[in-house]
Amino acid sequence: MGSTKTTSATEIIQRKYVAFCDVLGFSHAVENHFDATIQLYKEFKNRIADWPFPEKANVSVYSDSILIVCDELPPLLYAVQNLWFVTLTQDWLIRGGVAYGKYWEDRSNGNLFVVSDALVRAVRVESTIKVPGVVLSPEVEVPLSAWVTRFRDGPFSAPLLHFEGLNVVNPFNPYWFASARVRVCQLLEQSPQHSAKYKWFLKLSEHVEAHQPLVPQSALEEMLALGIIEERKSEGVVK
């Protein structure tokens, strides 16, 4: 559960995990293909409404921005993975940040008022990374169990992947990999001017398919030391 910080005798400010995600290319689509984008967005709205997001995750959508708030890290990661599935089925990629910190909100008269240093950091991560991924802010402590999942259940089921120095939420799952890659290949053909971001995503998919560790070196060393995994010279690190 999220810890709390008291700021006055009567008010307690909670600490939560916050994900801020942005749908890439949405603004351009609205300006250049308004009618088609409206139809896609209606489909997106229905998918979001019907999708079984974790009960512990609070999901809010504002145009092309999605805010996810949770007391715990695992359900938030699962919610972001679900968001990846929903957006990719619309041929959209997302970019975002995940942070942890103080979070205050008030919902009244249909309005949402938020003050959160975690949200500030999540937005900062989203605005600074140049790849289509949802990246964890440095202050987010990842438990070893999150990396153990990679070896216990395989790279398709891991909630997190460590790729090119970033801890990113896994955009794939055991039932959604080949189709996701095909869609991104098609997007690359349609919009070669954005090839860098598509090629990054496809490179990540190649590492997942090849069952690369995709785990920080420090976590690998800790799992080896604890006997959770073992290393064989002929096969590399295995379960």
Q: Where are the domains of the chain?
A: 1-137, 142-239
* Alpha carbon separation from 166 to 27, 38, 66, 133 (Å, rounded): 26, 34, 21, 9
Q: Calculate the CA 120 to chain-centre distance.
A: 16
What 3-state class would DSSP assign to 1?
coil
Q: For the residues of 104-167, what is the DSSP string, one character each? A: EEEEETTEEEEEEHHHHHHHHHHHH--SSSEEE-TT-PPPHHHHHHHHHH-TTT-SEEEETTEE
Of all helices (H) and strands (E), which one includes residue 220? helix 217-226
pLDDT score of 237? 53
Would you identify the CATH topology of the domain 1-137?
A: Alpha-Beta Plaits (3.30.70)
Which pairing describes strands 134-136 and 236-238: parallel, antiparallel, or unpaired? Answer: unpaired
Judged against a pLDDT cut of 60, whether residue 117 lies above it is answered with: yes
pLDDT digits (tens, 9 = 90+) for 79-116: 999 999 988 988 899 999 999 999 998 888 878 889 99
The CA distance from 112 to 90, in Å, is 27
Of 133, 149, 107, the residue nearest 239 (C-alpha): 149
Judged against a pLDDT cut of 80, whether residue 226 lies above it is answered with: yes
> Residues 178-196: what's their mean pLDDT?
94
Judged against a pLDDT cut of 50, whether residue 234 lies above it is answered with: no
Rg of the chain (C-alpha set) = 19
Q: Calculate the CA 189 to chain-centre distance.
A: 25
- Do the beta carbons of residue 135 and residue 168 sit within 8 Å? yes
> Residues 225-239: what's their mean pLDDT?
69
Does the reported pTM lie above 0.85?
Answer: yes
Of 77, 76, 49, the residue nearest 61 (C-alpha): 49
What 3-state class would DSSP assign to 18?
strand
